Amino acid sequence: GRFEVAFGAGPSPDGVADASWFELPPERCNLIIRQFFSDWAWEIPADLHLECVNPEPGTSRMTGESMIRHLATAADQVLDMTAFWADFGYAHVARAEVNSFDHVQAAQGSVSNLGGSVDQGYGQTWYRIADDEALLLEVEIPDCVYWGIQLGDVWYQSLDWWDHQSSLNGHQAVVSADGVFRAVVAHQDPGIANWLDTTGSTQGCITFRWNQADRQPVPTCTLIPVASIAEHFDDRWAPINREQRAVVLRDRRRAALRRFRR
What's the pLDDT band for 28 if we cut at 50, 70, 90? Answer: confident
Residue 94 domain-assigned? no
Our count of domains for the chain comes to: 2
Sort 142 into a burial class: Cβ within 10 Å, 0-12 / 13-18 / 19+: middle
pLDDT at 61: 82
pLDDT, average across residues 148-154: 96
pLDDT tens profile 206-243:
999 999 999 999 999 999 999 999 999 999 999 999 99
| Same domain flag for 18 and 117 | no
| Same domain flag for 120 and 24 | no
Asked if the model's pLDDT at residue 41 lies above 60, the reply is yes
Residue 176 domain-assigned? yes
Residue 39 domain-assigned? no
Q: Which residue has the higher pLDDT, 106 or 247?
A: 247
| Same domain flag for 243 and 129 | yes
pLDDT at 236: 95
| Same domain flag for 219 and 118 | yes
Q: Which residues of 185-213 are buried (b: 16+ CB within 10 A; e: fewer)?
A: bbbeebbbbbbbbbeebebbbbbbbbbeb
pLDDT tens profile 110-119:
454 555 667 7
Stretch among 51-60, 205-214, 252-261 having the lowest mean pLDDT: 51-60
What's the pLDDT band for 181 if we cut at 50, 70, 90? Answer: very high
Give the strand order in the sheet containing 220-225: 195-197, 180-186, 133-140, 220-225
Q: Are 178 and 236 in contact (CB under 8 A)?
A: yes
| CA gap 173, 205 in Å, rounded | 19
Residue 38 domain-assigned? no
| Same domain flag for 22 and 120 | no
Residue 191 domain-assigned? yes
What's the pLDDT band for 248 if we cut at 50, 70, 90? Answer: very high
pLDDT tens profile 67-108:
999 999 999 999 999 999 889 888 999 999 999 999 987 655
Q: Nearest 5°: CA angle at 253, between 251 and 254? A: 65
Q: Nearest 5°: CA angle at 201, between 195 and 206? A: 60
What's the pLDDT band for 262 if we cut at 50, 70, 90? Answer: low
Residue 87 domain-assigned? no
Residue 24 domain-assigned? yes
| Same domain flag for 27 and 127 | no
Residue 69 domain-assigned? no
Average pLDDT of the chain, as a whole number? 90
Q: Which residue range(s) make up the domain with 154?
A: 112-259
| Same domain flag for 250 and 135 | yes
| CA gap 190, 167 in Å, rounded | 16
CATH code at position 250: 2.60.120.1600
pLDDT at 52: 83
| Same domain flag for 124 and 253 | yes
| Same domain flag for 3 and 126 | no
Query: What is the model's pTM?
Result: 0.87
| CA gap 234, 222 in Å, rounded | 16
Q: Which residue has the higher pLDDT, 24 or 251?
A: 251
Stretch among 22-26, 44-48, 106-110, 253-257 having the lowest mean pLDDT: 106-110
Q: Nearest 5°: CA angle at 117, between 214 and 17? A: 100
Q: Nearest 5°: CA angle at 252, between 247 and 254? A: 95
| Same domain flag for 16 and 133 | no
pLDDT at 115: 56
